[in-house]
Amino acid sequence: MSFDLNPEQRAFRDVMRGFVDERVAPHAEYYDREQVFPQKSFDACVEMDLPSLGVPEAYGGAGADMITQAIMAEELARGCASTSVTMLISKLGMLPIINFASEEIKHQYLPRIAKGDIQASYCLSEADAGSDVAAMRCRAVRDGDDYILNGSKYWITNAGVSDTYTVFASTDPEARSHGITCFLVEKAWGLQFPKHEDKMGLRASPTGEVVLRDVRVPMSHRIGAEGEGFKIAMHTLDRSRPTIGAQAVGIAQASIDYAGSYMKGRKAFGAPIADLQGLRFMLADMAIRTEAARALVYRACATIDAGDPDNQLSYLGAAAKSFASDTAMSVAVDAVQLLGGYGFTKEFPVERFMRDAKITQIYEGTNQVQRVVVAKHLLK
Ligand SMILES: Cc1cc2nc3c(=O)[nH]c(=O)nc-3n(C[C@H](O)[C@H](O)[C@H](O)COP(=O)(O)OP(=O)(O)OC[C@H]3O[C@@H](n4cnc5c(N)ncnc54)[C@H](O)[C@@H]3O)c2cc1C
């Protein structure tokens, strides 16, 4: 395994850096303040063909390797964490389709996702079933050649914005996790979006409730077999968590970049605060932890690309996601500290980095749940 980027990955990273600095980062403060979907940044990403990266070539995508996809997530998050999740969420919604759907369904949806014409959401969580997925109450009942879905999904990224929703519902509540089934549901089939959250961070990424009331879903849109939904959900999260780690690395890098340049300009006691060894050590620790997080994220991504030969993906994905997000949180808090009182104001972006970092410790499984996964691997 190589421990550095190959020439194509490095070239892509450099292009992404310029693109984010010019077309994404300048809008981040506005979208965060107004708490609206980052449309201009999304459109720019579509112009750059970024939605195609995670879609296989056979279905109109670029079929990029996972490290390239992580570079995209990291660089976007360096400029705007909400824009980064907007790119990641369609991939999360589409992973069950890519890995478990029929050819007909793949050809029907994936090319449009790749073009950015439609977006996808992933509907696993419920108000009373987050970490404990098997407690879900959303029901799917067979009716001839269709299923009728009833229930409510909570915390859904891009609720109302997305055109398709990968919904997990129970076809056999007695069987708990073995009774969950996965469906692809179009927004137009009667989904309702009654509530959106007013969030601390990631404010330009809409998060809301998705309500299903007697929504009729054709059999063709069941993904995998009845009862296979839990396995599909976990298979999907294993392959997505490293990119949440990449998003966290991007937020950490933005914090380091901003705090470092501030330290050179800010004077105290007649000299730049960058001359103070205590602060230099803080910045150095921020960079060391971020570099280690990046390496772990790449390691997990490389394992996905290699087809998980040592059956370590759950473990590595959980380790990468939890380490990178814990790093992003502590690095962003330190960046606020390095700016002193100014860091605590909205005049400077580090408070946004701190608010955005927090979600990376929570979604796609909290960092406590990641440790459950890591320990399970170690003790099996
Ligand atoms: C902004 C945002 C976007 C989201 N987007 C999506 C989305 O698009 N799709 C989707 O399906 N979900 C989404 N989620 C939901 C997210 O994945 C859940 O919030 C998360 O899994 C935690 O579930 P919970 O909130 O119910 O917390 P709970 O499960 O109630 O956890 C509460 C606390 O208990 C701890 N805990 C729970 N179980 C254990 C355990 N076994 N061991 C140790 N500690 C434990 C948790 O770590 C946490 O500290 C999103 C959430 C947010 C906030």
Most ligand 1 atoms within 8 A of CB, residue of 37, 88, 125, 240 to mutate = 125
Cα distance between residue 162 and residue 157, in whole Å: 9
Name the pairing type of β-strands 180-186 and 139-143. unpaired
Q: Which domains does the chain have, with CATH numbers?
A: 7-115 (1.10.540.10), 120-227 (2.40.110.10), 230-379 (1.20.140.10)
Ligand 1, atom 44, lies closest to the CA of: 368
Mapping DSSP to helix (H, G, I), strand (E, B) and coil, where does residue 209 land? strand
Is residue 187 within 8 Å of residue 172, measured between CB atoms? no
Residue 284 burial by CB count (10 A; 0-12/13-18/19+): exposed, middle or buried? exposed
| Residue 228 is among the residues annotated as catalytic for this protein | no
Quick check: 169 and 161 in contact, CB under 8 A? no
Q: What are phi and psi of 349, to 5 degrees?
A: -75, -10
**Paired residues of 165 in beta bridges:** 121, 185
Token readout for 141 is 């009942």
Three-class secondary structure assignment of 121-180: EEECCECCECCCHHHCCCEEEEECCEEEEEEEEEEEECCCCCCEEEEEEECCHHHHHHHE
Structure tokens at 198: 């007013």
- Mean of all residue pLDDT scores within the chain: 97
pLDDT at residue 3, rounded to an integer: 75
Predicted confidence (pLDDT) per residue in 207-226, tens digit:
999 999 999 999 999 999 99
Question: How confident is the model at residue 57, as a pLDDT?
Answer: 98
Q: What is the pLDDT of residues 187-201, one digit of tens each?
A: 999 999 999 999 999
| d(CA 263, ligand 1 centre) in Å | 36
- Tell me the whole-structure pTM to 2 decimals: 0.98
Beta bridge partners of 109: none
| Residue to mutate, 363, 367, 372, 376, ligand 1, most ligand atoms under 8 Å from C-beta | 363
What is the 8-class DSSP label of residue 272?
E
Average pLDDT value for residue range 297-315:
96
Residues within 6 Å of ligand 1 by CB: 121-125, 130-131, 155-157, 199, 202, 207, 359, 362-366, 368-369, 372
What per-residue confidence (pLDDT) applies to 170?
A: 98
Pairing of strands 207-218, 271-272: unpaired
Give the mean pLDDT of 290-315.
97
